[in-house]
Structure 1
Amino acid sequence: MPSDPNVSYTVLRANSVHTHEAEIKKSRFLALLKRVDSEAAARAFIAETKAQYRDARHHCSAFLIGPTRETGRSSDDGEPSGTAGMPMMQALSAHKVPSQRDQQFQGDLSDICAVVVRWFGGVKLGAGGLVRAYSGSVAAALETAPLRTRMRSRSLTVRLAHADAGRVEDDVRTAGFTVLPTRYEADAAVLTLAVPDRELDVRHALDTVTSLTAGQYIPRPGSVDWHDIPLR
C-alpha cells in the first residue's frame, strides 16, 4: 500500500554526509546530502559547506523537512534565477526508492538538505545546461545514498523466558516485524517490536505474536516514537 506520511516516509541515514562529484564542461559539481530535522539544521549545514568550500563560486541548496514536507526552501546562490535551487528541490521531491518505482507510488523523501558546490570552469552552460547539471547532481547522489524508512511506531513489548528469547525473536522477524534490540534482565528477556502506529497493524502484531507463542506470551502496547528501519 502507498506510504502514509503520518506514519512513515523516506529519509537519509543519520550522522553522515553523502557526496557525488562530476565534471561538466570543465565546471566541477560536488553534491552533498545530509539528514536534517529542522530549518535551522539545514541552514547550519549550508553555512558549514560554504565555509569548507569557500573557493567555489556557487553553493546552491535545497531542503525538505517534515513527514509531509511542510518546510521546503531553495537557493540559486548567484546562478540565474530558477536554474539551480528549484531543480535541486524537484530532484529531492521526485526521488523514489525501488519499491515506489515498481509499484508506481509517489516519492516521499524528506528531512534532507542538498548543497551543490560549483567551481566554474570557464564554459557557460546556459539555462538548460545549469538545470540539468544541478538537478542531475542531486539525482545521481540520491541513487547511491543510504536511505531508510522513518516510521512512527507503537512499541509492543514481550517479556520472555531467557530460554525462549532466541526462538521467539527469530519467529517474529520471519513473520516480517521490525524488532528493536532485545533487553536482557535478570528474570526475563524483553523483546520489543516497532509496529506502524495504525490500529490494524497493532492488532495484527498482537494477534501474530500471541499465535506464534501459542498464547504463552502476550505483547503489551507501549509508547509511540519515530524509528529508522531498513527499506523494504
Structure 2
Amino acid sequence: MSSMLHTLAAPYQHSEDIRKSRFLAHAAPVTTPQQALAYVQEVSDASATHNCWAYRIGQDYRFNDDGEPGGTAGRPILQAIEGQGIDRVVVVVTRWFGGIKLGAGGLARAYGGTAAECLRLAERTPIVAMARLGVHCDFADLALMKARLKDLGAAFEQEAFDAEGVTLQLSVPADRMVEVKARIVDISRGRSEAFLLDS
C-alpha cells in the first residue's frame, strides 16, 4: 500500500487573486457524497461568477465546472485533491471574475493551484482503517465492556437489548482488532466472542 491517506482535520479556506479574478477555495472533510453536496451548497456564493467543485471519498468522486469551459475547473480541483494525497474531502473554488480572461490553461492552473494550496495549508489527520465488530454480552459485563473497549479506540454504533443481554455493534481501528477480540473474551470470562460485521 502507498503512503497513508489523510483527510482534513477541519474545514479550511484559502484565497488568491489571479489577474484581477478572485479565487476562494473552501475545503472540508466529508464521509458521504450527501455531505459533500450539502457543503457545496453551504459555501457556494450565488453572487460569484462560478462555484466549481470536486470531491473524493474512496473510489467515489465527482466534479463540476459550473459553467467554466469543460476540464478547466472541476477536474483540476480533483487532480489537486489526488496530488495532495487527500481522501474524504470536498473542495469548492469560487471565482469572482475581474475582467481579464485567463484562457483554458490559465483557468486550470488557477482552480487547481488555489485548491492545491488550500489543501497544502490545511491541517491533516491520517485516515485510520476501521473494522466493524458485533458482540453479545451479559448485562453485568456491559459497563466494563464499554469502558475497556473505548480505551482501545472503539466507537459504539448501536446496542440492542434482549432477554439474555445486549448486542453491541462497534467500529475499531483495524490494527487493534486482535487486541479488542482478546479483551472481550477476557472481560466476559469467555462467555462473549466478537464477530466481524460487513462494513
**Map 1:115-126 → 2, pairs under 5 A:** 115-126=92-103
Residue 192 in structure 1 maps to residue 151 in structure 2: yes
**CA distance in structure 2 between the aligned counterparts of 1:49 and 1:116, rounded to whole angstroms:** 9
2:16 counterpart residue number: 22
Match of 1:94 among 55, 66, 83: 83
**CA distance in structure 1 between the aligned counterparts of 2:61 and 2:130, rounded to whole angstroms:** 25
SS in structure 1 of the partner of residue 72 of structure 2: coil
C-alpha distance 154-112 of structure 1, shift in aligned 2 (>3 A): closer
**CA distance in structure 2 between the aligned counterparts of 1:224 and 1:2, rounded to whole angstroms:** 26
Taking structure 1 as the reference length, what is the TM-score of the superposition?
Answer: 0.59
SS in structure 2 of the partner of residue 151 of structure 1: coil
SS in structure 1 of the partner of residue 24 of structure 2: strand
Cα shift readout 1:72-129 (whole Å, capped 9, x = no counterpart): 000110111100000000010111xxxxxxxxxxx3x211100000000000011110
SS in structure 2 of the partner of residue 220 of structure 1: helix
1:11 counterpart residue number: 7
* Code of the aligned partner of 1:30: L
Residues 153 and 224 in structure 1, CA contact (< 8 A), matched pair in contact too: no
- Aligned residue pairs total 157
Q: Which moved more, 1:130-139 or 1:145-154?
A: 145-154
Match of 2:117 among 140, 149, 153: 140
C-alpha distance 34-146 of structure 1, shift in aligned 2 (>3 A): same
1:112 counterpart residue number: 89
Match of 2:35 among 41, 44, 47: 41
Unmatched 5+ residue regions in structure 1? 96-106, 156-184, 207-218, 226-232
TM-superposed deviation, 1:223: 8.8
* Code of the aligned partner of 1:129: G
Taking structure 2 as the reference length, what is the TM-score of the superposition?
Answer: 0.68
Unmatched 5+ residue regions in structure 2? 133-142, 154-171, 185-193
* Code of the aligned partner of 1:120: F
Cα shift readout 1:12-45 (whole Å, capped 9, x = no counterpart): 12xx420000100000000000111211111111
SS in structure 2 of the partner of residue 77 of structure 1: coil
**CA distance in structure 1 between the aligned counterparts of 2:177 and 2:48, rounded to whole angstroms:** 51
1:220 counterpart residue number: 183
SS in structure 2 of the partner of residue 78 of structure 1: coil
Task: Give the 4+ runs in structure 1 shifted more than 2 A.
Answer: 152-155, 193-196, 221-225
**CA distance in structure 2 between the aligned counterparts of 1:223 and 1:20, rounded to whole angstroms:** 45
C-alpha distance 56-9 of structure 1, shift in aligned 2 (>3 A): same
**CA distance in structure 1 between the aligned counterparts of 2:195 and 2:106, rounded to whole angstroms:** 50
TM-superposed deviation, 1:2: 3.5
Identity among equivalent pairs (%):
38
* Code of the aligned partner of 1:117: T
Residues 61 and 114 in structure 1, CA contact (< 8 A), matched pair in contact too: yes
Task: Please tell me the root mean square deviation across aligned C-alpha atoms, in Å.
Answer: 2.9
